[in-house]
Amino acid sequence: HVFGAACAFRVRFGIPCPDCGMTRALILAAHCEWLRAWRIAPGGPALLLGTLVSAATVTALGVIRLRGRAPLIARADALAPRIIFASATAVLLVWLAGWIAAVARALAAR
């Protein structure tokens, strides 16, 4: 522990907290070390990918609004929120599944 303090959740309950490892996993994913990041906390790489998908969607929507015709703009306006919602839902599910797996490993190690 860099700051000399253990995770209060882990100390109190004896299992990893939902965010344990997320910062390291996110940094590793940003450095393209996807497998190492996934092993630490699957939510980290998922969060990075979800953020990139959402950013690309918003960027594409902006370009379409600047250069597109009305029917294309209407389709993009309808599709963009769905893509962003789906990406956020996928990130949440991967993060939750990763935490459940970490808790199961911690309980099995007892």
pLDDT tens digit sequence for 18-50: 888 899 999 999 999 999 999 999 999 999 999
CA–CA dist 24, 53 (Å, integer): 21
- Work out the average pLDDT over 49-56: 97
CA–CA dist 91, 29 (Å, integer): 14
- Work out the average pLDDT over 60-85: 94
Confidence of residue 110 (pLDDT cuts 50, 70, 90): confident
Compute the chain's Rg from CA coordinates. 18
pTM of the full structure:
0.85
CA–CA dist 95, 19 (Å, integer): 9
Contacts of 110 (CB under 8 A, 6+ apart): 14
CA–CA dist 46, 37 (Å, integer): 10
